[in-house]
Each structure stands twice: as structure tokens, then as C-alpha cells.
Structure 1
Amino acid sequence: MVLTILDGLIGLGLASLVVGTIGNAMDLKETVSLGVAMGRIGFSAGVGILPANKASKLDPFEALKYD
């Protein structure tokens, strides 16, 4: 869970950096609303947690047999 939230924060930071750089070059002001930021982090956490939860319920030998 920590890794997925950290991934969301890193992605949000990189996106803000890129948009800020482009915005400064075009004389535009960029803003990221709190709702969008929280949605992004929540989505990132969900994408990481849901498959991990499903995988944790599998028998390791059975799961690796099909790999």
C-alpha cells in the first residue's frame, strides 16, 4: 500500500513539474485541485492493492505453475 501511494505521489509530482514547465513557457498558470490530487493517489493505490489482494489469496505453487 505504501508503494502504491508513493507511486501516486511521484506521478503527481512529475506531472505537476511537466505541466508547470510547459505553462511557464506559454505564460499560463497551472493549478492542481485537491480533489484531483486525491483521486489520482486513490486510483494509483487501487490499481496496486486490488491485484495484490487477489494474488495473496492464491496458493503460491498453483499460481507459479501457470507462469
Structure 2
Amino acid sequence: MIESMFSTILGGLIGLSFAALVVETIGSAMDLKETVSLAVSMGRIGFSAGVGILPANKASKLDPFEDL
């Protein structure tokens, strides 16, 4: 469960960093001042964690022998 949470949050942070880099690059090329807000960033990290944690929680309750 902790591994799932760590990997999904890390993936969310990597994706968010990439998106911020793209927004800044395109914004500076077009003379726009665009930023990624903190509230949106936290929401996306939470969504990313939820996408990974919910299936891991469900899988942890299954019997491994019955799954195989």
C-alpha cells in the first residue's frame, strides 16, 4: 500500500513538473505569463494518488490463491 502511494505520488509529481515546464516554455515563446496554481497542483497529486491507491487497496483484500 505504501509502495503504491509512493509510486503514484512520484509519478504525479513527475507529470506535474513536465506540465509546468511545457507551460512555461510555450508561455515564454508566446510572451504570455502562464503559471500552474498550487490548488490545481495539489488536486492533481491527490487524484494521481487516488488512482493508484484505490486499486491497490482492493487487490490487497483478495486471496492470492484464488486469484491465481
Normalising by structure 1, what TM-score? 0.89
> Of residues 1, 4, 7 in structure 2, which corresponds to 1:3?
7
1:21 correspondence with 2:32: no
User: Once the two structures are aligned, what percentage of the paired residues are identical?
Assistant: 83
The one-character-per-residue Cα deviations of 1:22-67 (angstroms, maximum 9, x if unpaired) are 1111111121111101000000000000000000000112223xxx
RMSD: 0.9
Name the counterpart of 1:44. 48
1:53 is paired with a residue whose SS is helix
Q: Which runs of 5+ in 2 are unaligned?
A: none
> Which position in structure 1 is the counterpart of 2:38?
34
Q: Distance in 2 between matches of 1:57 and 1:51?
A: 10
State the Cα distance separating 1:11 from its structure 2 match. 0.7
Q: Which aligned segments of 4 or more residues in structure 1 are displaced greater than 4 angstroms? A: none
Q: TM-score, normalised by structure 2?
A: 0.87
Aligned length: 64
Structure 1, unaligned runs of 5 or more: none
Give the counterpart letter for 1:58 in structure 2.
L
